[in-house]
Amino acid sequence: MKSSTQYTRKNGTAVMRFTVFLWTLGVMHLLSVVGSHALGQTRELVEQFSADENSLKFKYRIPLSQSTEDRFKEFYSLWRTRISQVEFDSLDQDGKIDLILLKNHIEFQSQRGIVHARKLASVRRLAPYWKSISVLLEDHEAMKEIDPEKIAEVFTAITKQINAGALLDPSKLTSVLQTMVETKPTLVYEATLELEKLSRSLSEFHRFYSGYDPMYSWWVKKPYEEVSNALKAHIAYLKAAVFGKDDPNTKIIGQPIGVESLDLAIKNAMIPYTASELIEIANLEMTWCDIEMGKATRELGFRDWKKAQEFVKTKHVAPGKQPKMIADLAQEAVRFLEMNNLITVPALAKESWRMKMMSPERQKMSPYFLGGNTIIVSFPTDTMSHADKLMSLRGNNVHFARAVVHHELIPGHHLQYFMNSRNKPYRELFRTPFWLEGWAVYWEMLLWDLGFARSAEDRIGMLFWRKHRCARIIFSLAYHSGEMSPEDCIDYLVDRVGHERNNATAEVRRSIMGGYGPLYQAAYMLGAKQFRMLHKELVQSGKMTNREFHDAVLKENSIPIELLRAKLTNQELSLDFEPSWRFSQR
């Protein structure tokens, strides 16, 4: 039997050991919180950044606000410091890639903020009353006590300022506005969009107090009606200055960003080429398309590729039959993938997509169908003119559709979205069109190689889109370099690719005014060429099977393809990573 002294000594030792164990756990927990990112767990860092950034975007939403600009500058500066404190060399490969991506995102957002601040400075010059409204909205967001009588005075002063003549009278068009309309019409157009946001924010402010605060209603009801009408009148005046007598729904308003800004955007996208080099890549790819188009043209008995393509355009289904055709083509593509063991297609992915029809209004911007987990079918409606109906039928013919249904659904965008939500979803922050659109076009090219086309008509359908992807690089980069006008872009699509003119106009309008970045349209073919080079490096070399390669790509989520290559090849990385992969060999 043990003595009490022995028991106490042994028990004390056990307690001490347990205490040390708990202390060790505490230290380990602290290290996991403070230094987990040095152990490769950068996912938490990215998720926290993303959540913080979204919180600030939710809170700081007042149009034209200087406070918003300042707060985001402070936020990105803080996160630069946090990233610099991470021990990069101790991270695993995923952790290194995440940190590089986060650093690149922060730098890009900071640069975008600088550009946006310049734009806002121009907008503010066109709307000198902006600060009075901004201060009111900021005080409201800060939940400061209001003075209804002073608010009424502010609204009355703004109304007087707008209605005084200089902001609304065409005969008194200010030199600032005149210069901007002539040299930078996009900025004037963007000013109308910012002022529309300001008008909506002011309406929200008014609804918050009106009817709930009797003193506010008594003082402000009439002054608010007057300032609201004056603000709308000023917005309408600015739109008229930009569009003149043209229909705002049809005129294309754009502003090239210039060679310097374009090259900066390319660098941020981790593409180690200049804009002129990328255009040359597109021209070389277009030459290949011309050769293949000539072969298919002769096979159909034509000498002119445009006549052969016109013949293919007549092969459309009857009105009302397009949805069934799309569904059949989607199932055909999946069967081809599985028969050739090209990629894993989860059963739920095959089951969980939907279809809807595109409105006539949206078809003015998107003349062809769009996709994702819902495929949106572009096809004539009974409200269109006879000529527009025929153009839509011809542009959405069977062979053009067969070439790209798989682009929108499986293995394209629908499968991408399906897998993204299940694999490293935190990387949504880094989504890039070079991965998103490049993957879908890569499959168009791979399926060509594997004999997916059944006939010369099918090959012409596939080549139409391949030429279209080349043309997107050429016209979008040339436009932003200041070398092509919107009208030049439309003519190029009609003459070089064979678009219907309405569809070409919609394509250019979508590219310039659809809210896309300057590289988005170029990313389709360039991303595809990156994937093709990576496929050559890993699959054609025998290091991976097609299925292994394609499954591995989808498990990394949407990231720049050069960093995807670094992961799949276990490339050595540094935090100051610079793109250097020259992926084009044609």
- Least confident among 365-369, 412-416, 551-555: 365-369
What percent of the chain has pLDDT above 90?
68
More confident residue, 555 or 121: 555
115-144: average pLDDT: 91
Task: Give the mean pLDDT of 530-545.
Answer: 98
DSSP H/E element including 355:
strand 354-357
Q: In the prediction, which pLDDT does 25 show?
A: 43
Would you place residue 1 in the very low, low, confident or very high pLDDT band (cuts 50, 70, 90)?
very low
Residue 205 CB partners (closer than 8 Å, separation 6+): 136, 137, 140
What is the arithmetic mean of pLDDT over 154-176? 77
Question: What pLDDT sits at residue 14?
Answer: 46
Q: Where are the beta strands (DSSP E) in 155-292?
A: none
User: Which DSSP category does 370 fall into?
Assistant: B
| pLDDT per position as a tens digit, 500-536 | 888 899 889 888 887 788 999 999 999 999 999 999 9
Q: Are 513 and 254 in contact (CB under 8 A)?
A: yes
Q: What is the pLDDT of residues 186-244, one digit of tens each?
A: 788 888 989 999 999 999 999 999 999 999 999 999 999 999 999 999 999 898 888 87
Confidence of residue 407 (pLDDT cuts 50, 70, 90): very high
- Residues 98 and 41 sit within 8 Å (Cβ to Cβ): no
Query: Which residue type is seen at 318?
Result: A
The C-alpha atoms of residue 99 and residue 42 are separated, in whole angstroms, by 7
Q: Classify 62 as helix, strand or coil.
A: coil
Confidence of residue 246 (pLDDT cuts 50, 70, 90): confident
pLDDT of residue 455: 97
pLDDT of residue 17: 47
Which pLDDT tens digit goes with each residue over 70-128?
A: 999 999 999 999 999 999 999 999 999 999 999 999 998 998 888 888 888 888 988 99
pLDDT above 60 (res 9): no
**Residue ranges of domains in the chain:** 43-122, 127-243, 262-568
Query: What pLDDT shows up at residue 169?
Result: 64
388-409 average pLDDT score? 90
217-to-213, 222, 506 alpha-carbon distances in Å: 6, 9, 46
β-bridge mates for residue 505, sequence order: none
> How many H helices and E strands in the chain?
26, 2
Instruction: Tell which residue, 493, 187, 446, has the closest CA to residue 333.
Output: 446
Is the separation of the CB atoms in 480 and 292 below 8 Å?
no
Position 6 pLDDT exceeds 60 = no
Residue 248 has a pLDDT of 66
Average pLDDT over all residues of the chain: 89
pLDDT confidence tier of residue 40, bands split at 50, 70 and 90: very low
Query: What is the Cα gyration radius of the chain?
Result: 29
The pLDDT tens digits for 353-372 are 999 988 888 877 677 778 88
pLDDT grade for 173, boundaries at 50, 70 and 90: low
Per DSSP, helices labelled H in 210-304 are 214-243, 259-268, 275-299
Residue whose structure tokens are 């003149």:
244
Q: Which of 260-269, 433-442, 563-572 has the lowest mean pLDDT?
A: 260-269
Per-residue pLDDT tens digits for 320-343 = 899 999 999 999 999 999 999 999
Residue 176 has pLDDT above 80, yes or no: no
Flag whether pLDDT at 270 surpasses 90. yes
pLDDT of residue 514: 77
Average pLDDT over residues 457-464: 98
Mean pLDDT across the stretch 481-506? 92
Rounded Cα distance between 164 and 154, Å, is: 15
